[in-house]
Structure 1
Amino acid sequence: MEKTTKRNNTKAAKNASQENDSRLEEFFHDELKDIYWAEKHLVKTLPKMAKAASAEDLKTAINDHLEVTKEHVTRLEQVFSILEQKPQAKKCDAMEGITKEGDSIIEDTEDGTATRDVGIILACQKVEHYEIATYGGLAQLAKTLGYTKAAAILEKTLSEEKEADQSLTELAEATVNEQANAE
């Protein structure tokens, strides 16, 4: 009798674990759709930011990151393929809000000023920080769910987002902030 009870308890625990995994799996897939939309949205948004910037270094940094962002879209499509799912985007309210805030910064600052460039850097860093948080969490979830190839892809993108954030900080510290302060 005691063995049967232990076996049933083990079975129940295993079923509960699988149920949680399926919820976690669903959450993971949903968040992938969210960041997929966000990256595709950035492909459309970054050229506007580059056009609004006046510092050539900033324009170059944004345009370079645009090319990297296109690679991120392709990588996410690889992750969907690993999961045997069709790539699907789900509107990311957070990214939409962050990019709208970037639009407001451009509208609220004077064209051709270093102050606008400071605002653009800040807006871009807000994007990067959102992406860093998302890719960090997704990479961990992929590991938890046993998707080691997907985790490696997500970690590569995470690393590139961190590099972009650091580059923006260096650009601000090296020239743009001081130029804005002198205006």
Structure 2
Amino acid sequence: MATKTTENTNTAASASNSASTGAVSTADKKMKVDNASVDGDEMKNSSLHKFFVSSLKDIYFAENAIIEALEKMQQAATTEELKDAFEDHQLQTKKHVSRLEKVFKLIDESPEEKQCEAIKGIIKEGEEIIKSTQEGSMTRDAALIIAAQKVEHYEIATYGGLAQLAITMGHDKVADLLEKTLQEEEDTDYNLTEIAETFINFDAEQED
């Protein structure tokens, strides 16, 4: 009987400890939620948030500039395959612009453009390629692919970095949108490589 009494006492103590632990756990959770709310309010004033918004404005400008650049590249391309690829990417880029506008809305910011000197330089280089290569040549197509991939790599680096920052700041829905665009940019880069390696580079090599 003494043993049974001890067991009951231990059981009661254990239950008491569990209840106590549960109460502490609930309090901890509430405190965490309260802190998260405070952190969220402070986030908009943080240096990281300001950098994030500035970078979104940068890529927003870039995407709009790319739409116009792709129109010129499509007209300058020689092969139908590359023309179609540029047309498809132009349509996709318009979706990326709309997606960025959703991102701005999710973080309570207005969609604004900020001059992106990097993309302006890359686009200018593409325009120089059109001027310096022969119209109707495969060499021009090979060069245009490289120019387009430079654009893609800039976008891949930007969206990849912004998606990680969104995760860090707890903007999960924003991160999902940015990662979706990132995947599409990577797919476009891969498709351009395939077009080049299938025949364009080889045909360009045969030209005088």
TM > 0.5 between the two? yes
Amino acid across the alignment from 1:28: F
Q: How does 1:25-174 map to 2 (within 5 A)?
A: 25-174=49-198
In structure 2, what is the Cα distance between the partners aligned to 1:61 and 1:120?
Answer: 11
Q: Choose between structure 1 and 2 for higher RCO, CA contacts under 8 A separated by at least 6 residues.
A: 1
RMSD across aligned positions (CA): 1.6
Post-superposition Cα deviations, 1:29-75, rounded to whole Å, max 9, x if no partner, equal 00000000000111111010000000110000000000000000000
Q: How many residues align?
A: 168
CA contact (8 A) 1:34 1:90 kept: yes
In structure 1, what is the Cα distance between the partners aligned to 2:84 and 2:45?
Answer: 43
Q: Measure how far apart 1:21 and its partner are.
A: 7.1
In structure 2, what is the Cα distance between the partners aligned to 1:160 and 1:171?
Answer: 17
In structure 2, what is the Cα distance between the partners aligned to 1:79 and 1:162?
Answer: 20
Q: 1:7 — aligned with what?
A: none
CA contact (8 A) 2:44 2:50 kept: no
* Mapped pair 1:180 → 2:204: yes
Q: Measure how far apart 1:20 and its partner are.
A: 10
In structure 2, what is the Cα distance between the partners aligned to 1:55 and 1:40?
Answer: 25
Post-superposition Cα deviations, 1:116-169, rounded to whole Å, max 9, x if no partner, equal 000100000000000000000000001111100000000000000000000000
Distance 1:80 1:19, change over 3 A: closer
In structure 2, what is the Cα distance between the partners aligned to 1:148 and 1:89?
Answer: 23
Q: 2:3 — aligned with what?
A: none
Give secondary structure in 2 for the equivalent of 1:153.
Answer: helix
Amino acid across the alignment from 1:171: I
CA contact (8 A) 1:21 1:145 kept: no
Q: Measure how far apart 1:86 and its partner are.
A: 1.1
Stretches of 4+ aligned residues off by more than 4 angstroms:
18-21
Task: Quote the sequence identity (%).
Answer: 52
Question: Where does structure 1 lack aligned partners over 5 or more consecutive residues?
Answer: 1-13
Q: Measure how far apart 1:19 and its partner are.
A: 8.0
Distance 1:141 1:19, change over 3 A: closer
Q: 2:8 — aligned with what?
A: none
CA contact (8 A) 1:142 1:148 kept: yes
Instruction: Compare CA radii of gyration and give the structure with the larger one.
Output: 2
